[in-house]
Structure 1
C-alpha cells in the first residue's frame, strides 16, 4: 500500500504516544448484554471518523499536519474509514479540495478507508471528477469511499454562480455522468447542464463497479433511492429522528434483489466525542471546541444576516449534550451514552468526531486514544447470550 519513509517514522512515534496505557489503566468492562432484538448492530458495527477539517487556533500548515497525524493514528487503531467534508469560503472547512487532502492522507495510511463526505457535485466538472476519483482509488489501492451531494449551503453555491434552485438538476446530471464514467470507457451525455460526446475514459477504479457510494439523509422520504441502489448513508441529529430513517432503509433494502447477495450497507450516525480522565476536564474541552465549531458552522449564515435555524444539532452545548449528539466524559460514560444512541438510532456505523473547533491536537488524540482502547472493544466483540 501507499506510504513514504517519513510517514513510517512519524507513524511509529505516533502510535507509541497514542497507544500507551494510561496510569492505573484497567481492561474496560463489557457493557451489559442487550436484549436479543437489539443485537442486530453488534454483528457488523463499525467505527469511522468524520472531519470538517474546520479552522482552529494553530497556523494552517500545522493544522493540516495535525490532521494527517491523526489519520495515521486512525489507520493503526481499528477505525474503518476517514471521511472529509468539502466547504468553501468558510472556516467550517479547510479541505476545500478533498481530493488534494485525501491524496496526502493516502500517503500516510495503509489500511484506513477514506473519502469525501461529500463531493459537492454542482460545483465540479464531472469529467474531471471521474478522473480524480479513479486516481484516488488507484493511489489508495482500492480504499476510496465516495460521498456525493448537492451542497448544504446556498451561500457557498452562490459564490460559484450556482443557485439553490438549479443545484438539484446539476447534481442529478453530474451524478449520472460520474456513474457512467466509472463504469465505461466512453462518456456520452446530453442534458440541460452538461453535454459530452465520445469522451474517452482512460482511467479506471480498482473497485468494481464503483467505490462504495455515500449520501447524507435527513428524512425517511429520501430513503428509497439509497436503499434500492445499495448506497451507504449518514445522518446527523437526535437518534430518535434517525431511527425512522434506518427502519425505512431496512424495509426497502429487504425488498431488493441485492439484499440476498450483499450485506446491509452502512447506516451511519455522526457524534462529537470528547474523553478525558475526569468529566470536568472533558466538559471544559468539549464546550470550548463545540462552541468554536458551531461558530464556524454558522459563519456564512450570519455574514449574510440569516442565522441558520434548520440544522439538526442544537447550538447550545448543554442542549446538544442532553440530546446525545455530543458524548463527553470519561470512557465509561461515553460508552454508556454511545450504546444508548446506537440502540435508539438503529445504526451499524458510528462516525466519530474527535477533532473539531479549537481542540488541540493533544486533546483530540487523547479522546481518540481512550476511545480506541477503552470504548471500541466493548462494541466490536459480539457478546454471548444465555
Structure 2
C-alpha cells in the first residue's frame, strides 16, 4: 500500500422493498415466486426517493464510490435495471465512482450492455466501474436462459463486451450464443481501454480462474470470510500464472458494519436489521438457489456438504464467520484494517444499510463511518502497507 489513497471505500445499497406483510414467513422464498401483488407502487416510490438520497449523501460525505446491483423478481432489491439507478445518481453527484456491480451479461444482449455502460461512463465523466456476475441461481428461474450453459454464455458475452470496447468498429463476432455482423457500439467509453472491471462470485474456482485469465478484479460475496480469503489467495496465484499483475484494488471485500457511540448501542441498533436481511430478505429455497446445471458437479457437492450457516443464523454466527461488526469507530476501523490485511484488499464495500433499517440509522451509520472510521483507516495505511508487502514477498 503505497499511500493513504490506496484504501478506497464504496457505499453499497441493496435498495430492498422491506415492507412485508405480517404473514410473509408463510412464503418459503422472497425470490422468484414471492407474489408481486405484495408490491405497493406508492411505497415503492417512497423507497426509491429515500434510497437515492442516501446514495447521494455518500458522495457528499466523501465516499469513493456508490455501488448498485441487479436482481430480479425479488423484494430483496428494487433494482432490476441498475443502469437506471446509476443514471439517476450521475447528475446528483460529482466525485464518487458510479459502480454497477452489476448486470449479468448472459441475461442480456451484451452489445446493449456495452452501450449502456459506455453511456454511463461518458455521462459521468469517466466515473464508471462495473462488476460482471454470473447471476444468482434465482435469476435463472425468471429469465429464459438455460443455467447449464450459463457459464459458457457468460464467457462469450464478456468477449463481446471487450471486443466492442477495444477494437475499432464495425467488427464481426460469431459465437455459440451470439452472432454480430456489425458489432459497432455507440457511444464508446470515456476511460481507455475501458472502465475498471471485476467479476463477482461466491468462490467457484471457474469464476476465479476467469478473473485471473482476464486480469480483472474479483469480489466474493455472502460466503464465510475464510473462504473469501482463500479465493483471493487463488486469484493472486493464478493472476501471476496468466501474466497479470495482482494489485490490491483487484480484491474487493464487503463489510457489514454499524457505527455508534458504544458497542452495546451499535449492536442494539443494528442486530434486528441484519437478521432481517439474512433471514427474510435473502430467504430462498435450495431449489431456487441452485437450479440444475448452475454449478459443476464438484462445486455442487462442496456446497451441499458445507455447514449451513444461513439456516441457523444468529448474531454470533454472523460475527464469527462473516465481515460483520457493530461497534465504536475505533473497533470498526480495527476490524476493517485486519480484514483488508488478510485479504490483501484496498477496496472496501461498506454495507451501511441492510434489511429494514430506517432512514435515520442509515444516515447516522454513513456519517459516523465517513467522519470517524475512514480517517482512522487512512492513518493506518502506511503500517498496513509494510505488513501486506511482507506477505506478498513471502508468497
Runs of 4+ in 1 over 6 A off after TM superposition: 39-43, 305-313
1:216 paired to 2:214: no
1:168 paired to 2:130: no
Q: Distance in 1 between matches of 2:265 and 2:49?
A: 25
Deviates more, 1:333-342 or 1:348-357: 333-342
Contact 1:54/1:296 (8 A) holds in 2 = no
SS at match of 2:173: strand
The match for 2:160 is 177
Q: 1:245 aligns with which of 231, 235, 256?
A: 231
Cα pair distance change 1:230/1:304, threshold 3 Å: closer
1:232 paired to 2:194: no
The match for 2:22 is none
Within a 5 Å distance, the mapping from 1:129-208 to structure 2 comes to 129-153=113-137, 155-183=138-166, 184-208=168-192
The match for 1:293 is 277
Contact 1:53/1:85 (8 A) holds in 2 = no
Within a 5 Å distance, the mapping from 1:301-316 to structure 2 comes to 301=285, 314=310, 315-316=313-314
Within a 5 Å distance, the mapping from 1:56-75 to structure 2 comes to 56-57=18-19, 59-75=43-59
Contact 2:248/2:346 (8 A) holds in 1 = no
Structure 2 residue runs without a partner (length 5+): 20-41, 292-302, 387-395
Deviates more, 1:110-119 or 1:240-249: 240-249
**What is the CA distance between 1:124 and its match in structure 2?**
0.8
Q: Distance in 1 between matches of 2:81 and 2:204?
A: 30
The match for 1:335 is 333
**What is the CA distance between 1:263 and its match in structure 2?**
5.3
Deviates more, 1:116-125 or 1:226-235: 226-235
The match for 1:319 is 317
Cα pair distance change 1:179/1:48, threshold 3 Å: same
**What is the CA distance between 1:166 and its match in structure 2?**
2.0
SS at match of 1:196: strand
TM (norm. structure 1) is: 0.80
Q: Cα deviations across residues 261-316 of structure 1 (Å, max 9, x unaligned)?
A: x9554311111111122333322332221122123443443896999977997433
SS at match of 1:340: helix
Contact 2:17/2:77 (8 A) holds in 1 = yes
Cα pair distance change 1:168/1:252, threshold 3 Å: closer
Q: Distance in 1 between matches of 2:179 and 2:307?
A: 35
Q: How much is the aligned-residue C-alpha RMSD, in angstroms?
A: 2.9
**Count of aligned pairs:** 344
1:49 paired to 2:11: yes
Deviates more, 1:218-227 or 1:327-336: 218-227
Q: Distance in 1 between matches of 2:333 and 2:92?
A: 29
1:371 paired to 2:369: yes
Q: Distance in 2 between matches of 1:287 and 1:347?
A: 26
The match for 1:16 is none
The match for 1:277 is 261
**What is the CA distance between 1:43 and its match in structure 2?**
6.7
Contact 2:133/2:201 (8 A) holds in 1 = no
SS at match of 2:350: strand
**What is the CA distance between 1:102 and its match in structure 2?**
0.6
Q: Distance in 2 between matches of 1:40 and 1:353?
A: 26
Contact 1:185/1:202 (8 A) holds in 2 = no
Q: Distance in 1 between matches of 2:125 and 2:289?
A: 46
**What is the CA distance between 1:106 and its match in structure 2?**
0.9
SS at match of 1:185: coil
